[in-house]
Structure formats: structure tokens, C-alpha cells
Amino acid sequence: MTETDFIFTQNQSILIPNGSATWKTPSNIALVKYWGKKEPQLPENTSISFTLDACFTITTLEYNLKKDKGKSDFTFEIYFEDEKKEDFKPKIQKFFERIEKYVPFLKDYNFVINSRNSFPHSSGIASSASGMSALALCIMSIEKELNPSISDEYFNKKASFLARLGSGSACRSIEGELIVWGEHKKIKESSDLFGVKFPYKLHKKFKNYHDTILLVDEVEKQVSSTIGHQLMHSHPFAKQRFLQANENISKISEALQNGDIKSFVEIVESEALTLHAMMMTSNPYFILMKPNTLKIINKIWEFRKLTNANVCFTLDAGANVHVLFPENEKEVVNKFIVNELVQFCQENHYICDRIGIGAKRLSI
Ligand code: DP6
């Protein structure tokens, strides 16, 4: 599929006067990381993520046809957890500008956006993936009203395509359980334009995989991902990093199919540390890990050596630690987390999450 397949072509004179759509959309955690992009929000390398379940956003989009449809600018109000949020507007305005070509009916409506997260806003968990994908799905529900003939497959692909233009990683939050974003020769049907489901059979060892998120530092991100991605443009190791990520996609694809958890652990941890190594070696450089992040990592390594448990960690662009482990080891690993790791979390806060199946429409 190409970008032009996503341009809305339905007769513009057919417009629905008003309505609303509500979607619940999960967050995701990358195993091979997206860090570096080019215009228009295209990844420099392929990434793959677990779709999560307990960390989600619920967004309702109400739409009312304007009297002077098509003439003015976008008109919308945003409420986050019942509070009007003027400061969220520029990001949404930019998102609407980027996607207008594909959903030209946006200017015909007055919108009210209502959003809430299952996780605390200040938890350091990025909400752009779940937030942007929820909004993209709500917009696709309007498109479906205007053109009921679109297939579910097209609906999901275009939702992922639109979400990507809001935030790159958001394109991986439409479906589950494992999503690949970025064209890759070993992953059939993969594309830079949208996320696709991992197209091979996932080994049973990875079914119901757990992700316990240890909240080490509950503050808003110190460096936005957008700025971080920009720093990859002039990064001395960028070229090598993109090659490495693409090789890791081939390796992790094999491991996920063969049930090779040892290789999975090596790739996932190396990816997390490489992401942070990129931040530490960019100009300007920065460190997002905190002392407790390192304490947790060392504890996990000690525990793994001692018990041979298949537990590992990953990080996103912050200090929190995602602890990943298989379903059949949950008793022993949960005990280890509670007894040894939770002490390093801010106010002992952590979230028990696991692999999920993707977004769900809550309204009919
Ligand atoms: C470290 O998707 O938040 O989480 O495209 O600028 O919105 P934008 O960035 P974003 O970057 C996510 C980076 C990451 C790795 C990943 O999720 O793959």
C-alpha cells in the first residue's frame, strides 16, 4: 500500500450532522527500539513492540457539523481527565494539519475531545502512543460513518497510518500482540507507513508475557522523544545503530518463533542499553537513567545468575524499568519483584501489565 491509498475519496457532500466515538487504546513497549526518524514521521529503522493491556487511554471524540463547513480552521476543545487543557492544543493542531490530506472532513466539524489514562499522568509513562492512537481510531470511526464500505483491515491500517503521523510509536498501538513498524526484508508486508501484526506464529513461551513497570521516577519526561529523535540526525553512531536495529529485528523474529528466550533476553536488554547509549553520546548528551534504574538492572542480573529465571528488563526514554518475564515463571518473579525491586520505586509504585490484544471501541 502507498500513501495515496489513504486519501479519503468519498463524496464530500455526504456528511453526518453529529455523533461521537469512544476508543480504549493500549500503550506499547518496544523490544527493538525506534530512535531516529525522517519526514514525514518515517522511521530510520524497523521496530517491534509488545502491545500492553493495563496501561491504556480512553478517548471520546464528539463531532458536530459546522454551519460554515470547510471554510474555517480546525475547531476543537480538549479535556484531559475532566480538565480543559489549552496546553495540549498545539500538538493536536499539528496532528490535524498532518492528517488533513487523508481525512479532509476534519475542518467540517467542531470537535470535543475527552481523554483519560489508566496510569497516572505523572508516572513517567509516555501517553503519546495510547493517546494518539485513540484519537486516530475515533477519527476513523467518523470515516467509517461517511463510508461504511471500508473493510476492517483498511480501517486498522489507516488508523495506524494516521496515528503514526501523531506520534511514531502510536502506530504500534492499534492491534496486538506484537507489532512491527518499518519495512524489513524478513517481515512480510512490513511498511514504514503503518504497523503490522508480527506475521509469524509466536512461540507459546511468549504468550501472556508479563511486563511489570517499575516507576522509578514519576516526573514528566526531561527530554521529549521528538527532540531525542532529532539528535539522531547528527549522531556520530547513527548509521551503525540503524543497521544494528535492523539486524536485531531478524534475530528477535527467529527467537520469537523458536521460543529462544535466551536470545530474546540478550536482544531486548542490549536494545534498551543501546537506546540510552545513543542519548549519552548525542550532542547535547543526556542521561535519563537514575541510580535506582541501575540498582534494579543489577538486581535482575544477579537474580538471573542465581536462579536461571528468564526475567529481563527494557527501558524507554526515561528512568522507569519494564521487567519482562514469561507466564510460567510469574510466581517466582513476582515474589522477587515485590521483595527486592519495589523498594527502588518512587513510593513503591509499580504497574503489573502484560501483552494485550489491541484497541477496542467502547461506544457502538
Ligand atoms: C524510546 O513515538 O514518542 O519509546 O514519533 O516523536 O512521537 P515521536 O516519538 P515517540 O518515540 C518513542 C521512542 C521510544 C522507543 C519506541 O517506542 O520504539
CATH number, domain 208-354, options 3.30.70.890, 3.20.20.120, 3.40.50.300, 2.160.10.10: 3.30.70.890
CB of 206 closer than 8 Å to CB of 189: no
* Location of each CATH 3.30.70.890 domain in the chain: 208-354
CB of 191 closer than 8 Å to CB of 183: yes
- Residue-level pLDDT, tens digit, the chain, 364 residues: 999 999 998 766 678 999 999 999 999 999 999 999 999 999 999 999 999 999 999 999 999 999 876 567 999 999 999 999 999 999 999 999 999 999 999 999 999 999 999 998 767 777 899 999 999 999 999 999 999 999 999 999 999 999 999 999 999 999 999 999 999 999 999 999 999 999 999 999 999 999 999 999 877 666 788 889 999 999 999 999 999 999 999 999 999 999 999 999 999 999 999 999 999 999 999 999 999 999 999 999 999 999 999 999 999 999 999 999 999 999 999 999 999 999 999 999 999 999 999 999 997 6
CB atoms within 10 A of CB 12: 13
* Location of each CATH 3.30.230.10 domain in the chain: 3-201
Instruction: Say how many Å lie between the CA of residue 284 and the centre of ligand 1.
Output: 18
Q: What is the pLDDT of residue 9?
A: 83
Q: How far apart are CA 312 and CA 50, in angstroms?
A: 14
Q: Locate 47 and state its grid cell.
A: 521496530
CB atoms within 10 A of CB 223: 16
- Give this prediction's pTM: 0.96
Q: Supply the residue whose CA is at minimum distance from atom 7 of ligand 1.
A: 167
Instruction: Go through 262-281 and write b for each residue having 16 or more CB atoms within 10 A of its CB, e for each that does not.
Output: eebbbbbbebbbbbbebbee
Q: Supply the residue whose CA is at minimum distance from atom 11 of ligand 1.
A: 225
Q: Which residues line ligand 1 (CB under 6 A)?
A: 30, 33-35, 41, 47, 126, 128, 167-169, 225-226, 229, 275, 316-317
Q: What is the pLDDT of residue 256?
A: 98
Instruction: Say how many Å lie between the CA of residue 133 and the centre of ligand 1.
Output: 13
Give the type of residue at 2.
T
- E-strand ranges in the chain read 18-32, 37-38, 42-43, 47-65, 75-80, 83-84, 109-117, 178-181, 195-197, 210-214, 312-314, 321-325, 350-354, 360-361
For the CA of 126, the nearest atom of ligand 1? 3
Instruction: Say how many Å lie between the CA of residue 169 and the centre of ligand 1.
Output: 5
Nearby residues of 245 by Cβ (< 8 Å), 6 or more positions away:
32, 33, 45, 46, 47, 271
Arch. (CATH architecture) of 3-201: 2-Layer Sandwich (3.30)
Instruction: Say how many Å lie between the CA of residue 94 and the centre of ligand 1.
Output: 17
Q: How far apart are CA 105 and CA 146, in angstroms?
A: 9
Instruction: Say how many Å lie between the CA of residue 168 and the centre of ligand 1.
Output: 6
Q: Locate 203 and state its grid cell.
A: 512461540
Nearest to 133 by CA among 62, 270, 28: 28
**Residue of 135, 229, 275, 289 to test ligand 1 pocket, by largest number of atoms within 8 Å of CB:** 229
